[in-house]
């Protein structure tokens, strides 16, 4: 009887030592190497400053693409803002919003959200940092989406303030817009 109990306990311990599924780095680690962007857009803001917007995707456990009918993975939208138009002394600030999205069956969810700003010139003050997430519908009837948004206010040396924001939205079919 002691031998049977010993075997059962040994087997029970093995179950805890070897999990039944793999834990994927893309699910657990928020410092993911996103690789090359899947979309890049460059434009000038209303003041004539250059903004480069890049969207990234890192697959979840299934190794799917961002356009599969169902799946999960990290999406990140990143903007770089050039403060100085003088090319000899450009000051580039980068800010992003990211989250882990799951989509399919006419629904989409987001978790593990984050956002931040870096490369801020030393004479610029950042305040009102805020990261939010939520869900919505296009046209109030179809195409659900989830989003992550990061916003903040920058104050320049002469006291003028500018509000910045970046958002990543993913639809129930895994598309961004």
pLDDT at 3 over 70: no
Q: Which domain holds residue 25?
A: 2-171
- Would 176 be classed as within a structural domain? no
Which pLDDT belongs to residue 67?
59
Sign of the Cα torsion 96, 97, 101, 105 reads negative
The tens digit of pLDDT for each residue in 38-49 reads 999 999 888 888
- Asked if residue 167 is part of any domain, the answer here is yes
Q: Look over the chain and give the mean of its residue pLDDT values, rounded to a whole number.
A: 80
The answer to whether 169 touches 149, Cβ cutoff 8 Å, is no
pLDDT of residue 131: 98
The verdict on residue 14 lying in a domain is: yes
Q: Which residues pair with 152 in a beta bridge?
A: 164
Please tell me the total number of residues recorded for the chain in this structure.
Answer: 177
Q: What is the pLDDT of residues 89-146, one digit of tens each?
A: 568 899 999 999 999 888 999 999 999 999 998 889 999 999 999 999 887 666 899 9
């Amino acid at each position: 009887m002691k031998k049977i109990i010993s075997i059962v306990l040994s087997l029970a311990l093995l179950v805890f030592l070897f999990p039944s599924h793999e834990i994927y780095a893309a699910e657990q680690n928020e410092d993911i190497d996103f690789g090359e962007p899947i979309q890049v857009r460059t434009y000038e803001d209303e003041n004539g400053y250059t903004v480069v917007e890049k969207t990234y995707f890192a697959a979840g456990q299934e190794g799917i693409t961002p356009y599969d009918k169902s799946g999960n993975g990290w999406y990140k939208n990143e903007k770089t803002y050039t403060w100085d138009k003088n090319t000899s002394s450009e000051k580039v600030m980068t800010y992003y919003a990211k989250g882990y999205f799951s989509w399919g069956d006419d629904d989409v969810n987001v978790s593990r959200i984050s956002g931040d700003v870096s490369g801020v010139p030393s004479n610029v003050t950042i305040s009102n940092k805020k990261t939010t997430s939520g869900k919505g519908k296009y046209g109030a009837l179809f195409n659900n989406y989830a989003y992550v948004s990061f916003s903040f206010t920058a104050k320049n040396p002469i006291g003028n303030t500018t509000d910045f924001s970046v958002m990543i939205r993913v639809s129930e079919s895994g598309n961004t817009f």
